[in-house]
């Protein structure tokens, strides 16, 4: 088994959290511009450190490491162990989720028929308490995962609620440099504001370790009911609009791979991110 992280990301993050010099001797660089960790234990610690640090502080996380690799790591490290070994310079307080947390709802993966079903709207106001309950499950399921968003069907609950926060920057996704705080949306809907569409990369918690290019409306207006029962209307463009459309699609039973037109625009994250085309599109080439 190999443990791979894109070199740029590795260097950037280890520098940002001051463990570059500590970790650099423990990895070897290969011709494909990926870092190969010498042993599994170290790789686990690094990855978990990054996932944890990323989600709370940097909005970086799973882009560092394909989730299908991560899941193969049978580790029981907790943050105090990680800190002791490699993260001694970090003073922030982390709340690292245990992978053995049996109470957290499982994220359903691409192929599970439930993900292709249409979700039901909430009857408001009587079902507002239910929306709050489902939201808690969604938060529990994604705790520490550093994801952009999630929709209730991804934890097997076919009700129309999504949540997302738009990061200002993201190594995998083409962002606008503007962050939008977490929104929780009950019964969301949207209308395109023009015919303009754009083709960009997406990923999904339900499609771990993979990315695909999908056409989305560039400018939309979306509506939803917030947790207090108030109707909200938001105009969104580019990445913000893309994230909304991705999450909304989950409620319709549509996962992003179903929207990939050219099958060559779908593949493993680490392979895509190492490609010349991707690197050029992100100014790395």
In the complex, minimum distance from the CB of residue 6 to Ni ion, in angstroms, rounded to a whole number: 22
Contact pick of 204, 214, 241, 272 for Ni ion (by CB under 5 A):
204
Nearer to Ni ion, 145 or 271 (CB): 145
Over the window 13 to 32, marking each residue x when it contacts Ni ion by CB under 5 A and - when it does not, the resulting string is: --------------------
How many residues bind Ni ion (CB under 5 A)? The answer is 1
| CB-CB contact of 154 with 180 (8 Å) | no
Of 230, 203, 240, 227, nearest in space to 135 by CA: 227
Main-chain phi, psi angles of 143, to 5 degrees: -55, 125
Nearer to Ni ion, 9 or 206 (CB): 206
* Residues forming beta bridges with residue 222, ordered by sequence position: 190, 234
In the complex, minimum distance from the CB of residue 226 to Ni ion, in angstroms, rounded to a whole number: 21
| CB-CB contact of 219 with 193 (8 Å) | yes
For residues 89, 91, 165, 133, the Cα torsion angle rounded to the nearest 10 degrees is 130
The structure tokens listed for 167 are 């990061």
Choose, from 22, 136, 200, 247, the residue flagged as catalytic: 247
- Using alpha carbons only, how large is the chain's radius of gyration in Å? 19
Q: Name the burial class of residue 141, with classes exposed (0-12), middle (13-18) and buried (19+) by CB atoms within 10 angstroms of its CB.
A: buried
Site for Ni ion in 168-197 (CB under 5 A): none
Taking the alpha carbons of 2, 61, 258, 278 in that order, is the dihedral positive or negative?
Answer: negative
Question: Parallel, antiparallel, or unpaired for β 161-166 and 210-217?
Answer: unpaired
Q: Which residue stretch of 34-42, 101-109, 188-196, 201-209 sits at the interface with Ni ion (rule: CB under 5 A)?
A: 201-209
Nearer to Ni ion, 9 or 154 (CB): 154
Q: Which residue stretch of 14-22, 72-80, 161-169, 199-207 sits at the interface with Ni ion (rule: CB under 5 A)?
A: 199-207
In the complex, minimum distance from the CB of residue 25 to Ni ion, in angstroms, rounded to a whole number: 38
In the complex, minimum distance from the CB of residue 181 to Ni ion, in angstroms, rounded to a whole number: 19
Nearer to Ni ion, 155 or 204 (CB): 204
247 has catalytic annotation? yes
Q: Is 138 in the site for Ni ion (CB under 5 A)?
A: no
Exposure string over 145-156, b if 16+ CB within 10 A, otherwise e: bbbbbbbbbbbb
Nearer to Ni ion, 84 or 114 (CB): 114
In the complex, minimum distance from the CB of residue 147 to Ni ion, in angstroms, rounded to a whole number: 8
The residues assigned a catalytic role are 247
Binding site for Ni ion (CB under 5 A): 204
């Amino acid at each position: 088994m190999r443990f791979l992280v894109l070199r740029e990301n590795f260097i950037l993050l280890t520098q940002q959290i001051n463990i570059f010099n500590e970790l650099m001797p423990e990895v070897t660089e290969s011709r494909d511009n990926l870092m190969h960790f010498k042993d599994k234990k170290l790789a686990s610690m690094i990855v978990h450190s990054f996932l944890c640090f990323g989600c709370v502080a940097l909005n970086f996380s799973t882009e560092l490491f394909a989730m299908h690799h991560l899941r193969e790591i049978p580790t029981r490290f907790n943050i105090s162990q990680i800190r002791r070994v490699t993260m001694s310079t970090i003073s922030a307080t982390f709340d690292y989720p245990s992978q053995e947390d049996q109470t957290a709802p499982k994220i359903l993966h691409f192929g599970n028929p439930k993900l292709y079903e249409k979700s039901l709207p909430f009857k408001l106001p009587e079902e507002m308490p239910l929306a709050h309950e489902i939201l808690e499950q969604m938060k529990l399921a994604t705790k520490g995962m550093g994801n952009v968003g999630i929709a209730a069907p991804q934890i097997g609950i076919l009700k129309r609620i999504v949540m997302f926060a738009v990061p200002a920057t993201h190594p995998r996704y083409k962002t606008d440099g503007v962050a939008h705080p977490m929104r929780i949306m009950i019964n969301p809907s949207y209308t395109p504001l023009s015919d303009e569409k754009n083709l960009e990369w997406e990923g999904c918690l339900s499609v771990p370790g993979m990315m695909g290019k999908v056409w989305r409306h560039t400018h939309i207006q979306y509506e939803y009911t917030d947790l207090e029962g108030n109707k909200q209307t938001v105009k969104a463009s580019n990445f913000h609009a893309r994230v909304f459309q991705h999450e909304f699609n989950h409620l319709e039973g549509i996962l992003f791979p179903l929207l990939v037109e050219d099958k060559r625009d779908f593949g493993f994250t680490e392979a895509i991110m190492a490609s010349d085309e991707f690197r050029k599109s992100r100014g790395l080439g």
